[in-house]
Structure 1
């Protein structure tokens, strides 16, 4: 930065110096007058404040004295003395000043006791001493002194009243006289006090006007003199200023003049203001450095901030100028945007090869390498120096190993851009897949002057594509193929079998009771189990066989290149045996079985969809008939499957169409033969198929989620029927209703039963819910809560089919359990089967010890009846007594005048074959 001494500034400073001195004198004079006016205003404020305090004290003194005269309350006397002391203090100070010989300190203290503003007291003393004859001041003093005698008389009245009240309460007449005198004195004082206040206020206004016009006149005179002096001086330097401004503003570069110490802008030319986008006045006082986005006013190259957030590249030349005693920085800023743009383009071109992520090779017309970027070295390990002057296609071949054909170069020479996958060789001899793009740079004649090759390593991309393709065709949990991939492979196998006149087989595998595993353990355990099942399926298959997973626990297996479908039987049997072995899952050992259906081409279908559907139908037959078994497809199975689908569709409308009805099977007391209960059993009369058995439609209702609606309908209908029997004055009996696992596990189960009992009016003790052991097992941890809720309602529960499930004796201790139903499988062999007899007697004994009643199902002979009676069984059901009957028949049996058979065991004649 250059330093320049400006000698021409010295005369200018000398010419302007008198003007500056005169300006200082004018400002000092105005400040002095302003200070004097301010002090006078303070004194006036003190006068007004003192007058206000005096007037308030005078009024309050009269009020307090009048109150004291009427009440004798010492508080009012104290208030009078307090306010009177203020009046006396102001009067003493006034009289002391008027006397001319006074102590300044004592007078100021007296005014302070009168609550005058302390800062105004010295001025007030001065005004009273020297200017008491000013307009309004004299009149105010006269009004003030005129009330001195009246105030003194008020004080004397106060003393007399104090003396009189000290001896007792004065007579009312005296008090009235005193108060009248106080009122008269107040009437005398009040107008003079107001006159005093008015004169003080008028005096303050008058004095303020005098001060204002005095200050204004002196300031105007001083300013006029200074302006005349300034006009003469400035007119002499105006010519020089105009010449300087012309040169300053016509410069092609931006010029900034800033204070060296603060960096604040003192002046700028028009060019600088236009670049920044604001006026010259707006730039004055701004920090010059803040205008630079990069660099500084002292640096050589930087960038200047432009309007709307842009920047302008500039080059700055700065010099330090000594202007009198002040040093300023003169910065000349030049626009170099065109030069920077050219350099930027050159730098971008130079850095493009080094920064691009893809490998880039530039070769001459003979395809010999001239330049390679760092990405090429990183991908291949070959330095650019070692590659130079070699043909870049020497290290690249087509994916099959052939060299790049000449047709590629011919197409590129004609203007095309070739893109394809090649195999590229690294420095260590290994190869990797590469996506290569080749284009040409032409000369003025259109001939290839250089070749540009851009390439990318696609190893990871190809691996990702293969991985995505595997995910699209394979189950993510088990790794088996998906349904779509299975159908594709099956279609290919059918094509091969057609050409070779062979056969294929499709097996449909479904795990038995897998849902119980999921519900009893967790879905995580279920997923682990499915993975183990898939492993065992793969272990039983040959390399050419295909296994797929098409559903939750449903698997398909393709056995290609067979002579007949029956060859699949051996694989299916081995698979059943493998899946029947226990699965060790750490903390759990799980036993499973599977049902397998087999369909073959060409016998059972000619396309994958048909084969899978037919194998599914065969699997359903195996699951329905036996489980842990296999079945080959027959056309009848498909008809059965269609019938089940149609039955499911009809079942959705059965409730709406009122196609269900109830029959009731009596439960008799074995000792007396009396009907004590009936069990409500649902029947479905299909409009086209006739009667559909519960064993056929109940499983479908459970799978469709309709079982809760059916259970609710049965409960409402049965309870309402019992109430109608009660209204007909038939003997009161218990009604038993079967409850499915789906209904029992629903959160609103207990609330629903309570609502039915409320709506029908049936007593809770007359309702018995028959629940199987499997349903209780399905309920899980909520068993205790549900049973407690039923017990709280007074509803009894019977454990149905006891002995055929898990037979947990813990169920018998549950709240609300009142009955134990012995399954018919144990009754059939009585009384001849010793095993059935022992089991039945044991169950009856257990029930008796737990204070439970027993009900035997399926009693068909009198021998069974007699055995159960001797064993201690309380109730029984079966064809020996009655088949399930419609409502009318039950009413006939329950009617009091019904004709009863003589033999107790034939209360209802059994229907024997």
Structure 2
């Protein structure tokens, strides 16, 4: 068969193959040259486009600089800078590429600024690096470099003009001189720019001619070489027909030459005549399909089918065909081999292989001594062991019980008695790793009942066990910190209580709440807050060690379970250590954050005998620590539970406060410190509970925020304040500015500004008389929404004040916004004046900042004459505090503003009527 193939038309095809390769090489070479020409054209297009952008930028830079020199318009200077940066970037990229030392990322950015096509960048880099000596290219680059000097001079003129305009209106004669300089530099640049454009265009024409000539000459040379090679190959093919005929008739396989177009037999060898029972004359001209029935086309090109013999029987044969040309006729040479014996063997093997391969589980077939004889593909995928790798090994040598011990003899006893054993084992892979496996072993016996083979079926159960463990972990742990979640913590508490009750011991639940964590979320991002919670959890776990269980039950609330205690002092010692480690600064990203914690402790059995009671009482103790001191811990006492119930009742009663009109406004005057006259009042909310009396805002405002009522309260306060202003106006009192505190919850709403506008219009109040106060934390929390709202309020005419300035976690970048009109200096800085040097320095810095930014400062909490005089000397404009007046009822404000009324407080003066 191999001999027939070597002297059949296949050797001819191999001999002609170099011709085909040569032709492919010629075509490929031409295509490569054409592609190269296209790439060069793309590069030239990039050069031309870059030249166009460069020329336009140069001309526009001159125009913008002339415009700036004549008008002083900063926008024209900015436009010049933009074009000059583009020109400088192009020049830098040119010189960097020419030097050979450059960063491709920076070059790519420079090309992007110059609007260079990305496809042209590699070619342009190559030409600027290696082709500056080419015709026209060198001249163009020289002209380009020559333009750098005038451009730098233009930049110098721009800097001189900018400095002059920053000092005021420049002298006209000097400006005319600068205009002449700009025009002169433009006259120097124009021929350089025109010459650069001309050289680039001429270079493109020259390079196009060179490329065409190179492609043409290369194609001619390659074609001549291919024709010469074809002549030599064809001369070697002559004289092969006799050798082919001899081998053709002596072949042991049947060979048929068939017309490719008609399918009729043209010639057959001696073996083909014997198998078909025909002579040459009867067989020639017959269609091959008359004798051969194809059954299967194999991937290797062979066709398996049946050949009809002389006595009518069907002979299984394998046919391989190749096509050749006899003159102008296409002929298929078909070689048929008898495969009767192979078909029988393959049928038996296929049945066994298909049965084995169709099983998704791994299968091992072992001899009676348990040595591996065969494995399927699934086993190889699972373990990496092939049959060759397992030679001489018993399959149970690679497996052990889950605890690491060898498979016991009882396994084989069960198989001997029952014929099968199923169990979980640990199996070793070829790379040395192991995995859990479900193993089923069955015995195959001979007619005498002796074990002939073992069949082991394996299943990798790693994923199932990992999923089971992961689900168990997720069900019991917090996804952020990895601590025990509420359900798991309560389960562990039940176990600890059961043990303590049985052994008459003690257990404790420690409830930890972070102080001012909301300020971190407001001032930074929630992502930073999440990272901080993870850091807190790590410190708690480190400090706790293996002495208890740590959990996170929500938000910034953590719990710790201490079991097997002997005294309450053990719990207090841990609480003290936790306060210490949690008060140390946290490094979170680029920030260093400092906070503290409040801790409550409830002990079993003194403070509760079940888990819900212990957690509730520990929470109550924590709240007491937070309310009384912060950064402290408290043990539970029954009074704390009463306080907790009072908070719950407060939440319920707060919902009715708005509808029952239990809220009232008090007004505290703001005075002009230099003259002492009242210029504004601040509306302060008070809740007069029908049973409890006056409730301070610090007690119910956080509750309102948690219940989602703060927006409704804000709206009520603003509406009541505007109504009071309208009432004072109708009473003929001088108009005052009204300051109202607004929460971030309402300030960040999309319709906030519209609501303010409609309220002012309905009361016929000037927007300038309303000042809205918002804290630093709220500004940073709202981000871009805050900036849009501030600009909208500024356009409306409503003033905005930053309340409690200097106490939040913030930068001062927002002070650059023109919409910020007032800055309220927090009373924590005023309290130490004038004796505390640090407070004095901080306040003076704030006032200097306000003067520079044209922001009106308002000092809060002024209580002494010394504080008043210090702030007045430091330049504070307005002040507010008990020195002037406490928050008072509206009628008191009306009395203070009444014309002709003399005040006992020397710092208060009436607002003159004409000021309104």
TM bucket (normalised to shorter chain) is 0.5 to 0.7
Question: Alpha-carbon deviation of 1:563?
Answer: 0.7
Q: 1:732 aligns with which of 730, 735, 760?
A: 735
- Counterpart in 2 of 1:592? 595
Task: Please list the CA deviations of residues 450-496 of structure 1 after superposition, one character each: whole Å capped at 9, or x if unmatched.
Answer: 65432345567656654554455444544433333333333332232
TM-score by length of 1: 0.54
Question: Alpha-carbon deviation of 1:438?
Answer: 3.2
CA distance in structure 2 between the partners assigned to 1:776 and 1:316 by the alignment? 84
Q: 1:638 to 1:612 in 2, by over 3 A?
A: same
- Counterpart in 2 of 1:718? 721
CA distance in structure 2 between the partners assigned to 1:533 and 1:761 by the alignment? 53
- Counterpart in 1 of 2:78? none
Task: Please list the CA deviations of residues 73-103 of structure 1 after superposition, one character each: whole Å capped at 9, or x if unmatched.
Answer: xxxxxxxxxxxxxxxxxxxxxxxxxxxxxxx
Q: 1:515 to 1:894 in 2, by over 3 A?
A: closer
Task: Provide structure 2 residue ranges, at least 5 long, that are not aligned to the other structure.
Answer: 1-256, 266-286, 308-313, 321-330, 910-916
Larger radius of gyration: 1
CA distance in structure 1 between the partners assigned to 2:438 and 2:353 by the alignment? 24
SS in 2 for 1:729: coil
Alignment of 1:132-281 (within 5 A): 262-263=261-262
Question: Alpha-carbon deviation of 1:573?
Answer: 1.8
| Mapped pair 1:641 → 2:644 | yes
Q: 1:858 to 1:478 in 2, by over 3 A?
A: closer
CA distance in structure 1 between the partners assigned to 2:742 and 2:783 by the alignment? 16
Question: Alpha-carbon deviation of 1:762?
Answer: 1.0
- Counterpart in 2 of 1:347? 350
CA distance in structure 2 between the partners assigned to 1:873 and 1:902 by the alignment? 23
Contact kept? 1:677, 1:733, Cα under 8 Å: yes
Task: Please list the CA deviations of residues 548-575 of structure 1 after superposition, one character each: whole Å capped at 9, or x if unmatched.
Answer: 3333433322322211233122222222
TM-score by length of 2: 0.54
CA distance in structure 2 between the partners assigned to 1:425 and 1:907 by the alignment? 91
SS in 1 for 2:735: coil
| Mapped pair 1:568 → 2:567 | no
Q: 1:315 to 1:656 in 2, by over 3 A?
A: farther
| Mapped pair 1:488 → 2:491 | yes
| Mapped pair 1:700 → 2:703 | yes
Question: Alpha-carbon deviation of 1:737?
Answer: 1.1
Q: 1:367 to 1:818 in 2, by over 3 A?
A: closer
Contact kept? 1:844, 1:873, Cα under 8 Å: no
| Mapped pair 1:502 → 2:483 | no
Contact kept? 1:382, 1:426, Cα under 8 Å: no
| Mapped pair 1:437 → 2:437 | no
- Counterpart in 2 of 1:104? none
CA distance in structure 1 between the partners assigned to 2:860 and 2:818 by the alignment? 23
Question: Alpha-carbon deviation of 1:582?
Answer: 2.6
Q: 1:458 to 1:387 in 2, by over 3 A?
A: farther
Question: Alpha-carbon deviation of 1:697?
Answer: 1.2
SS in 2 for 1:765: helix
CA distance in structure 2 between the partners assigned to 1:711 and 1:900 by the alignment? 33
Task: Please list the CA deviations of residues 155-182 of structure 1 after superposition, one character each: whole Å capped at 9, or x if unmatched.
Answer: xxxxxxxxxxxxxxxxxxxxxxxxxxxx
Task: Please list the CA deviations of residues 23-64 of structure 1 after superposition, one character each: whole Å capped at 9, or x if unmatched.
Answer: xxxxxxxxxxxxxxxxxxxxxxxxxxxxxxxxxxxxxxxxxx
- Counterpart in 1 of 2:614? 611
- Counterpart in 2 of 1:294? 297
Question: Alpha-carbon deviation of 1:907?
Answer: 8.6
Contact kept? 1:859, 1:878, Cα under 8 Å: yes
Q: 1:373 aligns with which of 363, 372, 375?
A: 375
SS in 1 for 2:705: helix
CA distance in structure 2 between the partners assigned to 1:733 and 1:840 by the alignment? 30
- Counterpart in 1 of 2:687? 684
Task: Provide structure 1 residue ranges, at least 5 long, that are not aligned to the other structure.
Answer: 1-257, 267-283, 305-311, 319-327, 909-913
Contact kept? 1:565, 1:599, Cα under 8 Å: no
CA distance in structure 2 between the partners assigned to 1:605 and 1:303 by the alignment? 91
Contact kept? 1:371, 1:384, Cα under 8 Å: no
Contact kept? 1:745, 1:778, Cα under 8 Å: no
SS in 1 for 2:599: strand
Q: 1:709 to 1:373 in 2, by over 3 A?
A: same
Report the more deviating stretch, 457-466 or 632-641: 457-466
Alignment of 1:327-346 (within 5 A): 344=347, 346=349
Q: 1:747 to 1:345 in 2, by over 3 A?
A: farther
CA distance in structure 2 between the partners assigned to 1:830 and 1:394 by the alignment? 85
Q: 1:487 to 1:348 in 2, by over 3 A?
A: farther
Question: Alpha-carbon deviation of 1:436?
Answer: 1.8
- Counterpart in 2 of 1:544? 547
Contact kept? 1:546, 1:557, Cα under 8 Å: yes
CA distance in structure 2 between the partners assigned to 1:854 and 1:442 by the alignment? 100
Contact kept? 2:524, 2:780, Cα under 8 Å: no
Contact kept? 1:860, 1:880, Cα under 8 Å: yes
Alignment of 1:53-92 (within 5 A): none
Task: Please list the CA deviations of residues 419-447 of structure 1 after superposition, one character each: whole Å capped at 9, or x if unmatched.
Answer: 21235689999987542213455889999
Question: Alpha-carbon deviation of 1:698?
Answer: 1.0
Question: Alpha-carbon deviation of 1:820?
Answer: 5.4
Contact kept? 1:382, 1:427, Cα under 8 Å: no
CA distance in structure 2 between the partners assigned to 1:488 and 1:549 by the alignment? 14
Q: 1:720 to 1:290 in 2, by over 3 A?
A: farther
CA distance in structure 1 between the partners assigned to 2:783 and 2:319 by the alignment? 90
Contact kept? 1:503, 1:602, Cα under 8 Å: yes
Q: 1:492 to 1:289 in 2, by over 3 A?
A: farther
Q: 1:900 to 1:558 in 2, by over 3 A?
A: same
